[in-house]
Amino acid sequence: MEPILLEPLESPAVLPDFVSCYSARLPRADHRLHFRAGRECVARAMARLGLPDVDVPHGPQGQPIWPAGVTGSITHKRDFVFAAVARTHDVLSIGIDAEDLIEQERAARISSVVMLPQESFVGGSAVAAADRIVLLFSIKEALFKCLYPLVLRRFYYDAIAVTDLDVPARRFEAALLVDLSHGFERGTVVSGSVQVDERRVYSGTWISSQPVAGGRTREDATI
């Protein structure tokens, strides 16, 4: 099989320093290359941790199946691929996501699927309406990738409400609106980071220990 030519890129600053990240640009926007390119970025991120290059297959929900002692996340959009890997003694789970910025008309079509009424003004006037939809979508995708390996239960956009979004400070907070599992009950708060450039938004979150239900979060649990 012909090797993929990856152009290394600086990774989005949405995860803590102990997470090994690797980002790259594909030679062309081809979704058929995404799986292979994602695994290549994983291999390079793992090498930075001194870990061997091992197979990372996908599970029944499409989630990566990480080797023992390792966790991570992968995202790709058009010609962009981003992988993040960490040792499980540092973090239980990671979620990352990248999404293209879109025009207002398209954002309006998906807003009812992604955005809850209480999220209509999250981020305030510093966030354009179309960008708010993309940010909410990306944040919730990252949260799903982070939480699914821990709760082993599918959930959708209406299961999470983003309660605080500060794009200049690159941070968000979100609360669960449903009970997912022990330690991830309704009211559990999970936080993370966002970054926006001229093309895309990026989101990242991680959990190093079980968060506390009832609208609280442990400072050592999330970004």
The rounded average pLDDT for each run of 10 residues, N- to C-terminus, in the chain (223 residues) is 82 96 92 90 96 89 91 96 96 97 96 97 96 98 97 96 98 98 95 97 87 44 31
Query: What is d(CA 163, CA 194) in angstroms, rounded to the nearest whole number?
Result: 14
What is the predicted pLDDT for the residue at 30? 83
Q: Tell me, what amino acid is at 138? A: S
What is the predicted pLDDT for the residue at 150? 95
What is the predicted pLDDT for the residue at 215? 46
Contact of 55 with 66, CB cutoff 8 Å: no
Report phi then psi at 51, rounded to 5: -95, 150
What is the predicted pLDDT for the residue at 222? 32
What is the predicted pLDDT for the residue at 56? 93
* pTM of the complete model: 0.92
What is the predicted pLDDT for the residue at 218? 37
- Lookup: tokens for 6: 């990856």
What is the predicted pLDDT for the residue at 209? 60
Query: What is d(CA 184, CA 178) in angstroms, rounded to the nearest whole number?
Result: 9
What is the predicted pLDDT for the residue at 208? 84
From the number of C-beta atoms within 10 Å of its C-beta (0-12, 13-18, 19+), residue 176 rates as: buried
Q: Tell me, what amino acid is at 129? A: A
| Among 75, 38, 63, 68, residue whose Cα is nearest residue 52 | 68
Total Cβ atoms within 10 A of residue 217: 18
What is the predicted pLDDT for the residue at 3? 67
